[in-house]
Amino acid sequence: MQNFEERMLEFGRIRELLELRCVSDLGRRRVAQLIPTSERSTLQRNIQLVREMMTLLEQRHEPPIHDLRDVEEHLKRVSRERAILETTELLDLRDFLETARRMRQFFTGLETVAPNLYQLAQPLQHLPALVRSIEEKVAPDSTMRDTASENLRVLRAEIFACEHRIQTTLQRMIRELMESGDLQDDFYTLRNNRYVLPVKTSNRHRVPGLIHDSSNTGETVFIEPYVILDESNRLSELRVKEREEIYRILLRVAGHIRDELPSLQTNLAILAEFDLLYAKARFGVAHGCTFPSLAEPDEPLRLIEAHHPLLRVAAPDVSRPLTLTLERANRVLVITGPNAGGKTTALKTVGLTVLMVQSAIPVPLNARSRVPLFDQVLVDIGDEQSVLQGVSTFSAHMQRIARILERASLGSLVLLDELGTATDPGEGGALAVAILEALAERGCLTLVSTHLAALKNWAAAHPAGRNASFRLSERDHRPTFQLILDLPGISEALIIAEQVGLPRAIIERARAMRPAVEHDATALLVSIQHKEERLSRELAEIEKTRAELEILKSELETEREALAREKRQLRLRMLEEKERAIRELKAKVEELIARQPTKRELDEARRELDAERKATEGELERLKATPRTNVAKFEIGMNVNIPQLNDEGTIEKLVPEKGKAQVRLRNGVVVTVPLDELEHIVRSEQETSHHAPQGAVVYLPKGNVATSIDLHGKRVDEALPLVEKFLDNALAAGVPFVRIVHGQGTGALRKAIHE
């Protein structure tokens, strides 16, 4: 973004809030460098990265970034030849590389949840050889290990032996001098890295040696005895050699670091970006923020329930949402209304929201909002005149507006607060109208707050203009902070003055002095606003009722599904009862025929009963399984029966994805019914054409089975086929008993039937 006014919109305070959520100075420097961008692809990538990080935080996936060390200066210094890092700095670098390893490992398991973060983490390198080199040479307490080199090990062994000899000599001298009363204390100490004894000043001539220091009181002198002088000099030489060896070791490690500088610089850039992303995501999750959609340049700016970000952070209970649309056709929105009613806050909310979105910082608004990208955000908000420069309020405003007019273009967002004020209302209004006309010609989206009637009239008449207003509540005259589009507002100066304590007599006098025409126009506008407020309340009630009806509809749907389950369970019980009856029938038949049937007849009866049992079991399994409606068997225009409604109808519409159909009943009512609750009605052609009236439903019977047969007058050869067919039908239908009637005759027919 080329030009944006971060000071007036307080974008710097947003940076401060992000810096508080960074874990390192690396991230804090990235925040300080953060500026909005109008490059769409870059912004979309950055927004997606923040979205993924917010998702991880909401799912309690904390990235292991809290121990991130800032090694940027370390790497800059070590990049120079012969430069080294101190041991503490080497440990910082070791920890930095460990963070890189853990971050890469962390995102390796989250490539499906956070694919963009996963890709960002892939170039991170642990550099295990460099880490091992540091750990082999530097101890956790940042001292150089004895094993860092063979030469260092030998030197330290000599230092230890030399110190031991000096300390042994001093211990012996302390015992002797304490007995003679020459020492102030019974210990030795160091002065200028030399071993010394605390000798009483009065007895200093009794301890031959070099005086290195004295106490503040002058009662003690610190003497290095001559007897240890040679060993002390040897110790000093060894320590110089030790420092030289440590420097050589650090030089070798620094060379190793320089070899890996490209990888280290890559790690540095990636982890700095991760710290920035982490700060943005923490801010977003903490304050209920999200991102709007990025609109195309010719699309409107549409904010839905947008809060001023700083108010949302500082006073979430006080913050009020703003819903606003700014279109290209009506690209100049003139906002009017009472003082302290929300006009300036609305302008700042729009401006700061745009800056944050174009910086990939989540904002407190409804995600259905849409924000186009702007090349510049040009602002004149507040009264920041310079007394020292002799600039008046009006002049300061005009200077800023002159710069805005120089820069404003099609891709600009312009925010002007109290345009045309601080001068004569007539001239100020005319000048303000001319400014808005110029901005409208440039095609930039413009929001302007004002109290001037001239701007209200211009917005109502000009094709590029549009009015909007805030208002006071009809009940208590408090600000509603609701922006009403297409309706100009009233300043309500007298009401505001009365609320802040101006004497009532002055208020009444002011009301009396207002011109009658102005009073009537104001009264009419107030009346319109109050009607609008009442309509809004009624609309809210309607919406509430609609929501309640939706809930009721959902409850009824749940109840209907429960009834369907109950019906299915009932059918299941009936089928189980049928199975039980068949088992009983089988037992009775077997008992009945056990005395005299032929083997062929017995086998045939058993096969038929088994077939019925298997068919029943199959039906049982079908009912126990989850029903799956075959949508293909239904079609539009098909006649169906709806047992639950005890009614019939015709399918008018199929909704296969929901497993439902719209059916017009015989009384004309259209209902939506699950497909698994419909039964296809089959009509016989004969019954439809001859027996049934037009439109009537005739069910085809599954078959009527007789329970008795009359064989009077039949011979054996005539009767047996009839009896066999009769019994087959009765067994298949599950008839519990049958009656066979025949005459007395010779008894041949009775005998043949029993056989």
Please give the CATH number for the structural domain made up of 148-243.
Answer: 1.10.1420.10
Q: Which two tokens stand for residue 518?
A: 């102005």
d(CA 303, CA 310): 17
Q: What is the pLDDT of residue 69?
A: 96
Q: What is the pLDDT of residue 520?
A: 46
The 10s digit of each residue's pLDDT in 465-512 is 999 988 766 565 566 678 888 888 776 666 666 666 777 777 777 767
Top-confidence residue, 17 or 751? 17
Task: Identify the sign of the CA torsion 294, 297, 302, 307.
Answer: positive
The 10s digit of each residue's pLDDT in 641-690 is 887 666 788 999 888 877 888 888 887 778 888 887 888 876 544 444 44
Q: Where are the domains of the chain?
A: 3-127+260-286, 148-243, 293-501, 628-699, 708-754
Q: What is the pLDDT of residue 371?
A: 97
d(CA 308, CA 311): 5
> pTM here?
0.66
Top-confidence residue, 704 or 422? 422
Average pLDDT value for residue range 82-95: 96
Task: Name the fold adopted by 628-699.
Answer: SH3 type barrels. (2.30.30)
DSSP 672: E
Contact 370, 299 (CB under 8 A): yes
List of residues 6+ apart from 610 with CB closer than 8 A: none
Q: What is the pLDDT of residue 500?
A: 66
Among 47-56, 195-204, 619-628, which is the least confidently predicted range?
619-628
Chain CA centroid to CA 129, Å: 40
d(CA 172, CA 156): 24
Average pLDDT value for residue range 624-649: 71
Top-confidence residue, 647 or 585? 647
**Percent of the chain having pLDDT more than 70?**
79
Q: What is the pLDDT of residue 672?
A: 84
pLDDT band at 447 (very low <50, low <70, confident <90, very high): very high
Closest C-alpha among 154, 170, 153, 172 to residue 232: 170
Confirm or reject CATH 1.10.10 for domain 3-127+260-286, answering yes or no. no
How far is CA 88 from each of CA 23, 94, 104, 246, rounded to the nearest angstrom?
20, 10, 25, 14
- 3-127+260-286 and 148-243 share one fold: yes
Give the best-scoring range by mean pLDDT among 283-297, 658-672, 688-702, 737-751: 283-297
Q: Which two tokens stand for residue 107?
A: 């995102």
Contact 67, 94 (CB under 8 A): no
DSSP 202: G
Among 426-440, 593-607, 661-675, which is the least confidently predicted range?
593-607
Among 75-84, 194-203, 275-284, 481-490, which is the least confidently predicted range?
481-490
Closest C-alpha among 513, 627, 642, 619 to residue 565: 627
Average pLDDT value for residue range 387-396: 64
Is the predicted pLDDT of residue 266 greater than 70, yes or no?
Answer: yes
What integer best gives the mean pLDDT of the chain? 83
Closest C-alpha among 301, 426, 430, 286 to residue 354: 301
Q: What is the pLDDT of residue 80?
A: 93
Among 197-201, 393-397, 739-743, which is the least confidently predicted range?
739-743
Top-confidence residue, 716 or 280? 280
Q: What is the pLDDT of residue 691?
A: 40
Q: What is the pLDDT of residue 702?
A: 35
Is the predicted pLDDT of residue 29 greater than 80, yes or no?
Answer: yes
Q: What is the pLDDT of residue 693?
A: 35
pLDDT band at 519 (very low <50, low <70, confident <90, very high): very low
Confirm or reject CATH 3.40.50.300 for domain 293-501, answering yes or no. yes
Average pLDDT value for residue range 686-704: 37
Among 272-276, 369-373, 699-703, which is the least confidently predicted range?
699-703
Contact 616, 582 (CB under 8 A): yes
Tell me the angle at which helices 40-58 and 261-286 cross, rounded to the nearest 10 degrees: 70
How far is CA 320 from each of CA 317, 487, 490, rounded to the nearest angstrom?
8, 20, 20
Closest C-alpha among 201, 250, 206 to residue 222: 201
Number of H helices, E strands in the chain: 23, 22
Is the predicted pLDDT of residue 98 greater than 70, yes or no?
Answer: yes
Closest C-alpha among 608, 620, 621 to residue 580: 620
DSSP 656: G
Give the best-scoring range by mean pLDDT among 243-252, 392-401, 634-643, 717-726: 243-252
Average pLDDT value for residue range 401-415: 94
Contact 383, 8 (CB under 8 A): no
DSSP 344: H
Phi and psi (nearest 5°) for 64? -80, 65
Q: What is the pLDDT of residue 670?
A: 80
Q: Which two tokens stand for residue 261?
A: 């500088």
Give the best-scoring range by mean pLDDT among 214-228, 238-252, 449-463: 238-252
